[in-house]
Amino acid sequence: MLARELAPLLYVQRDEWFPLERVVAVVNPLRPIIAYHLLWRDDVHGSWVPFTVPTDEEVVWVGYSPTHAPTDIWTYWHGSVLHTNWKGHGQVAIDVQWGKHGSLPHGIIESDLPTWRKLNLFYALTWIGLPDIWLGDLTRPGPLCFCHGYGRYRDFSKLVLLPNRVDAVVRAVDATAALEAVFGHPYSRKTPWPATDQSQP
């Protein structure tokens, strides 16, 4: 019940092509934190590379108080784990990037993102990486481009109610076996838990 109660609302970029396929919530028995592993159907880049996994796994973590109110959120953002204090903000909300599904705390100030992982750089990559996207379309169906401006790239307005989408809830520190059972093998194996130091970005 707690895992579903604290499951974030996802604000997905409005033109997102790939649907959310499966969701596994992992409740940590040693820390007041829940990991939400999100499996998207594919990634817009690199799908033509031989032996790539035809899915895209992302992770969002929600920390909570003894009263079960959300206190912190961490999101996996292209190799970085972003941390945000969420005390007093109510239901956790996450913005989901077009095509690559990087997860951001809803309403984050873009200048606070890591230097080489700014949102506008990923937008530029949608144009620079067009040949990569087209090659991917030869092997797995996907969009031909992000054919809009930067303002639309930041339009996170497609609401996905994650509490209604949780396929499995697991209580474990190491949930590898459960994730393989639900997601299949192989899957991306993203960072299982954020560091305990909440001063990280």
Provide the 3-class DSSP secondary structure of residue 197.
coil
Name the token pair of 55: 């899915």
Comparing 139 with 128, which gets the higher pLDDT?
128
* Burial (CB count <10 Å: 0-12, 13-18, 19+), residue 118: middle
What per-residue confidence (pLDDT) applies to 197? Answer: 59
Write the pLDDT tens digit of every residue in 142-190. 999 999 999 999 999 999 999 989 999 999 999 999 999 999 887 788 8
Q: Say what the pLDDT of residue 199 is.
A: 41
* CA quadruple 124, 130, 132, 137: dihedral sign: positive
Rg of the chain over Cα atoms, rounded to whole angstroms, equals 16
Mean pLDDT of 103-131: 93
Residue 200 has pLDDT above 90, yes or no: no
- pLDDT tens column, 21-52: 999 999 999 999 999 999 999 999 877 777 77
Averaged pLDDT, 55-62: 94
What's the pLDDT band for 5 if we cut at 50, 70, 90? very high
Q: What is the pLDDT of residues 66-107, one digit of tens each?
A: 999 999 999 999 999 999 999 999 999 999 999 999 999 998
Q: What is the 3-state secondary structure (H, E, C) of 31-91?
A: CCEEEEEEEECCCCCCCCCCCCCCCEEEEEEEEECCCCCEEEEEEEECCEEEEEECCCCCC
Fill in the DSSP letter of residue 12.
E
